[in-house]
A and B are shown apart, each in its own frame.
Chain A
Amino acid sequence: MPSAAPTQLWLVVALICGPIIFGLLAWLAQSERTRNILVITATCLTALAGVALAVQGPFMLQAGPGTGHLGDLLEAVMVAVVLGIGYKQKIWPVFAMGIVQAGLVVFEHLGKGAESANPTFILDSLSTILVLIISIVGSVIVVYGIGYMHVHEHHAPPTTASTGRFFFFLTGFLGLMNGLVLTDSLKWLAIFWEGTTLCSFFLIGHDRTPEARRNAARALIINVFGGMSLGFGVALAQHEGGNGSISNMVQSAALLPLVLVVLATFTKSAQMPFQSWLLGAMVAPTPVSALLHSSTMVKAGSYLLLRLAPGFVGTNLATVIALSGAFTFAVTSAIAISQSNAKKVLAYSTIANLGLIVACAGIGTPMAYSAALVILVYHAISKALLFLCVGTIEQQIGSRDIDDMSGIMLKMPYTTTIAAVGMVSMMLPPFGMLVGKWMAIASSGHAPIVLLLLVIGSALTIFFWAKWLGRIITTAYHDHYTVENLPFSMKGALSLLVLMVIAGGAMTGVIYRNYLSPLAKVTMSGSPLANDSSVLLKSVDEFMGWPLITIIVVVAGVVLMALLGLRNSHTRLPFLCGENTPSGTRTFVFRSLMDQPVTAHVSSFYFAPWFGEIGITKWANPVAVLILLTLFVRIGLI
């Protein structure tokens, strides 16, 4: 890997520090106009720097002298902030874990003397993918936030923190995430890791309502726990003779540090039993949920797991990780069926897809790894789009209940069409999500239990998406819904994302062949099943040829034909046994006894007794804990 040119150095600096500095300026800005300009500058800078860096190709960057001490300083600051929050807000578990972390830092420095290694930054294929997701999708979400927060400010509870602060954390998040995926030194990874945790804490608690505070505290507890686990993992890796880089950790045979870090990735990517913080995160304004769920935060966990995957492939650990991911996938897909809250459905779907990524990382064949990459990329785009759509719809109709979204197709055609495209992209060919799921199932043929869980989860996934999609495209709506009127930034962000979804869907084959599949083949060449996997991969490669193009052509052709067929068709009222009322042309109103109008209500199927959140979580969480404990059993610790 070539070492970095000066331009690349500056691009890295721009990617990490740029958003943070501009975010800080935006916080300090007096007028909304200045703030918006600064935020847009920050996002443009991030997006451009990300693309420029990706274009220039891989490199390795050894940071200059003195940065090692900066790392020590930052580490201390992070611990201090955690301690401060824990103490001030009386979140005692966080305070306790903060003390443990402080002890760890002190111990480490005493043990090793004053010497601290300078950080290394590397850009390989995996980090390129992540940088692109963060800097493009993340930036689009921030731009959306400008229009969204303008409205939100007027409706928000009086306790809300300032919008400037909100944007600081939002853009700062991007910078920290960029750092997280670019660094190769474990210590800096832990710093960025802690930084994203703190950012998410402030963002979730933005409205400062009791609920927001509670959920923010929960997110902090779980993620600081993960951070602590990461800290121990890092310390142990150093102790066992590692040189403090991630690549070294992957190569070393020591499993205990690996398990600790894997545990940290589970908390960050909200795997069961740690899922509750991500569900609580939806009290925050929509751009936050979009950011946490799609391009940042949860993707930090999946990224690190994928980074470490070659380290545990073929070991006992891998089976447990695969099982744990598949279990999360099946269970959360089931719970999503019973939810009527749109954001909650999205949240459970996020957790499910992250579970799929984890399962793929655990299976560890080249095919599974490329499946994980495909899901990672396409999920980021589609989920960002869906969250932004739900946020828009919620602002317009004042509800996030799925049943209330009936018929918005007629009142908000723009947003609804985009949302429909987003939902279709989550479950149908030729979009990447389905390709990913397909490859995941195909590559799990050797692990029967994982396979069964994936199969069940995949069937359940169709259920909740189809149900919801059917609800929004229907043509019966409440009378008080008004025609949408979106500010430019929201409209622009939605359009950009939907274009990315469609272009990504059309180019699934190209992206898979040129970028994802080669990466997976190289990374996972050590897998014991690599040979079997190559047979399957051939099948996928072939599908990426003419069959995929055929699907795209057929879909396009049908859309065209339907448009043509529309010309000579006549519209009639639906059949309501002859009792339609002229006034109720847009709802299920029919005439009943004494000619009085009666409105029929058709609810979606939820199956709450079967798939209810509380009922399932009650037994699923202990099971998930048990699976995680077997991680430690497997390496002989218990």
Chain B
Amino acid sequence: MNKLTLAIGAVVLAPFIGGLIQGFDRVLTARMQGRKGPPLLQPFYDILKLLRKERVVVNSQQILYAYMHLAMMVLALFMLFMGQDALMLLFILAFSTLSLVLGGMSVRSPYSRIGAQREIMMMVAYEPILILMVIGMYLVNGNFRLQAVFEAERPLLLSMPLLFLAYLTVVMIKFQKSPFDLATSHHAHQEIVKGLTLEFAGPCLGVIEIAHCYEVAFFLGLVGLFWLSNFWIAAVLMGGVFVLSLLLDNLCARLTTIWMFRFMWSVALGLALTNIVWLYWH
């Protein structure tokens, strides 16, 4: 019962946490660029505004995809806190992203289509690494259920340092940070305007933004999973990853999908595999 309360609490709180993280992200980015930046609560203002705007769509399917994106994201978070099977969790996450991709593909806008196809590319690029990470957890704990990770005493980071590094690249992709902000991005719109989310407007876009809050909270939360035994170390880990992602975002240019694919399937996948092989030897 306690677990259920925790999970429901997480589902309710996650958008606020995710929103705050994003607000902090924008302030910090502005400071890095020598600007003052928006208020900390800016993401909430944006979302509330979007939800109040006129419901404009290009076709009727779009609403379905936007809601499905959010619902599956919420479900993924819920299952994370319920300690469910980690592999299934990844598939539900993939469902969520795929809904958004289908939403982008369902409209007849070239920008949106290109953005959507890039998003699929990104998914293909990071999916093996996430699965290998889960396999790593299995090899360490002998069980695919996250419950086993919650109960383990030895921090995961000690057994899977390279997988952690590989996971960082996944975080960069999911946070839509350079050099991976290919499908849709807050900063650059010269190339494909807004890409994937171009044709979502008003409340639909608001729903997607909320889902992104969940996404940010979820993936940063997974970072904490690497050192669960001590709250403060986990917090430092999450903070460190967050600042690092911002730093890289401001340092890097956006690169091509092919580059991303090569990088992910060589460097990141290589790191993950090395770690897995190392775990087998133990």
Contact = CB atoms under 8 A, between A and B. Distances in A.
Interface in A451-479: 451-452, 455-456, 458-460, 462-463, 466-467, 469-471, 473-476
A107 interface: no
10 contacts: A445-B138, A459-B131, A466-B98, A475-B58, A539-B144, A542-B84, A547-B79, A551-B75, A569-B55, A572-B201
Interface stretch (A124-132, A180-188, A278-286, A556-564): A556-564
B154 interface: no
A574 B54 contact: no
A562 B55 CA distance: 12
B135 A470 contact: no
B102 A470 contact: yes
Contacts of A576: 109-110
Interface in B61-105: 61, 63-64, 67-68, 71-72, 75, 79, 82, 84-85, 87-88, 91-92, 94-95, 98, 101-102, 104-105
Contacts of B177: none
Contacts of B144: 442, 536, 539
A592 interface: no
Interface string A549-582: 0110011011101100110111111111000000
A407 B108 contact: yes
A447 B23 CA distance: 44
B87 A442 contact: yes
Contacts of A475: 58-59, 106-108
Given A459-B131, A474-B105, A543-B85, 12 more contacts: A441-B131, A442-B138, A442-B144, A455-B132, A539-B144, A542-B84, A547-B79, A554-B71, A558-B64, A569-B57, A571-B56, A588-B108
Contacts of B143: 535-536, 539
A462 B94 CA distance: 9
A278 B85 CA distance: 36
B193 A575 contact: yes
Closest 8 CB pairs of A and B: A470-B105, A476-B108, A562-B64, A574-B109, A569-B55, A459-B127, A562-B63, A565-B63
Interface in A390-410: 407
Interface stretch (B25-33, B118-126, B165-173): B118-126
Contacts of B273: 452
A586 interface: yes
A428 interface: yes
Contacts of A10: none
Query: Which has the most chain A C-beta neighbours within 10 Å: B55, B139, B273?
Result: B55
A460 B261 CA distance: 12
A411 to B, nearest CB: 14
Query: Which has the most chain A C-beta neighbours within 10 Å: B60, B64, B106, B109?
Result: B109
Contacts of A550: 75
A600 interface: yes
Contacts of A575: 109, 111, 193, 198-199
A526 interface: no
A557 B71 contact: yes
Interface string A208-225: 000000000000000000
Contact of A473 (B91, B102, B198): B102
B131 A458 contact: yes
Given A455-B131, A474-B105, A474-B108, A448 B55 contact: no
A11 to B, nearest CB: 40
A554 B63 contact: no
Contact of A448 (B58, B104, B198, B276): B276
Interface string A430-443: 00001000100110
A570 B58 contact: no
A575 B128 CA distance: 35
Nearest to B59: A475
Query: Which has the most chain B C-beta neighbours within 10 Å: A452, A466, A547?
Result: A466
B63 A571 contact: no
B212 interface: no
Contacts of A600: 110
Nearest to B123: A462
A604 B121 CA distance: 12
A548 to B, nearest CB: 9
Nearest to A459: B127
A134 to B, nearest CB: 30
A543 B88 contact: yes
Contact of A428 (B57, B98, B142, B198): B98
B189 to A, nearest CB: 11
B109 to A, nearest CB: 4
Contact of A562 (B67, B121, B139): B67
A602 interface: yes
B277 interface: yes
Contacts of A434: 91
Contact of B127 (A451, A462, A586): A462
Contacts of A247: none
Given A466-B102, A470-B105, A571 B71 contact: no
B107 A602 contact: no
Contact of B124 (A442, A463, A569): A463
A612 interface: no
A605 interface: yes
B174 to A, nearest CB: 15
A466 B120 contact: yes
A41 interface: no
A429 interface: yes
Nearest to B54: A570
A572 B58 contact: yes
B116 interface: yes
B58 A571 contact: yes
B117 interface: yes
A451 B135 contact: yes
Contacts of B109: 574-576, 588
A458 B130 CA distance: 12
Contacts of B231: none
